[in-house]
């Protein structure tokens, strides 16, 4: 049976965070609030936990989850290269609603699914999410919903969809926006292949806002519009 903790109540916050840490540590799943939508979190370095996350949502390994981080130091340990234009985007939009796809550090022993050597990273702008990440390390996080359903913007919606597939639910009230993050593919910049970044999905950060920071390093073609079935709480 799942445990639900109202983190707005100080009497439930500490035990809720403790239970969440323990659940992540044993490879179980936790629903957490983020600044975009609620997300399902798992230990990014546990292949079994990541598979459990995908199974809970009804997704395949072709839809690997993004990884939420607590800052640039954590990102540098996960990616093979962090180009200067991306550092500028991070400085401008993190913590916040921009997920960035970069080549993964090849020495890492993890299995997020069929990533093709990349990892999608984001720093959420939410105190509870950040505190948990700081204590557990990077978390694989996907929006708290079943595939084909709208991403949950409150714990009740998440629980109705995911039920006992989740060990711990951390409730912080309705999320501020309910708009998932923008996903930016920056592998072209990192690998020096095309020398440009491209938007895979428009969300909380607009193309114009990104272009203000990196100029013509952003490809111009129109990106797919925001999708409320957002596998990105980084996708949260």
Q: CB 122: neighbour CB atoms within 10 A?
A: 31
pLDDT of residue 131: 98
For 3-217, give the CATH class. alpha beta
Query: Which pLDDT value is given to residue 234?
Result: 42
Query: Comparing C-alpha atoms, which of 229, 194, 222, 186 is closest to residue 207?
Result: 222
pLDDT of residue 122: 98
The pTM assigned to this predicted structure is 0.92
In 61-189, which ranges are E strands? 67-68, 98-103, 118-122, 139-143, 168-171, 182-185
Give, rounded to a whole angstrom, the gap between the first and last alpha carbons of the chain: 24
In 141-181, which ranges are continuous DSSP H helix? 155-162
Residue keyed to tokens 């100080």: 10
Q: Is 57 exposed, middle or buried (0-12, 13-18, 19+ CB in 10 A)?
A: buried
- In order along its 236 residues, the chain shows pLDDT tens digits of 899 999 999 999 999 999 999 999 999 999 999 999 999 999 999 999 999 999 999 999 999 999 999 999 999 999 999 999 999 999 999 999 999 999 999 999 899 999 999 999 999 999 999 999 999 999 999 999 999 999 999 999 999 999 999 999 999 999 978 889 999 999 999 866 557 999 999 999 999 999 999 999 999 765 555 554 444 444 56
Vertex 183, ends 119 and 121: CA angle to 5°? 35
Point out which residues pair with 121 in neighbouring strands.
Answer: 67, 100
Find how far residue 216's CA is from the centre of its chain: 26
What is the rounded distance in angstroms from the CA atom of residue 168 to the CA atom of residue 5?
8
Both structure tokens of 86: 């991306």
**Which letter does DSSP use for residue 219 in this model?**
-
φ/ψ bin of 43: left (φ > 0), alpha (ψ from -120 to 50), beta (otherwise): beta
Q: What is the pLDDT of residue 222?
A: 56
């Amino acid at each position: 049976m799942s445990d639900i903790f109202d983190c707005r109540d100080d009497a439930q916050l500490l035990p809720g965070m403790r239970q969440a840490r323990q659940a992540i540590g044993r490879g179980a799943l936790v629903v957490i609030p983020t600044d975009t939508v609620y997300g399902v979190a798992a230990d990014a370095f546990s292949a079994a936990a990541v598979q459990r996350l995908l199974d809970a949502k009804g997704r395949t390994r072709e839809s690997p989850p993004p990884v939420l981080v607590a800052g640039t130091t954590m990102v540098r340990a996960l990616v093979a290269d962090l180009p200067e234009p991306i550092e500028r985007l991070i400085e401008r939009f993190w913590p916040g609603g921009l997920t960035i796809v970069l080549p993964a550090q090849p020495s890492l022993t993890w299995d997020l699914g069929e990533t093709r050597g990349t990892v999608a990273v984001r720093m959420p702008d939410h105190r509870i999410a950040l505190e948990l990440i700081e204590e557990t390390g990077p978390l694989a996080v996907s929006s708290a919903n079943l595939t084909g359903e709208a991403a949950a913007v409150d714990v009740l919606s998440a629980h109705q969809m995911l039920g006992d597939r989740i060990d711990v639910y951390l409730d912080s009230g309705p999320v501020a926006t309910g708009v998932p993050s923008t996903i930016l593919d920056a592998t072209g910049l990192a690998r020096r292949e095309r020398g440009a970044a491209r938007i895979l999905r428009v969300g909380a950060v607009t193309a114009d806002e990104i272009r203000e920071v990196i100029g013509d390093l952003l490809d111009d073609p129109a990106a797919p519009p925001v999708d409320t079935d957002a596998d990105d709480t980084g996708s949260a």
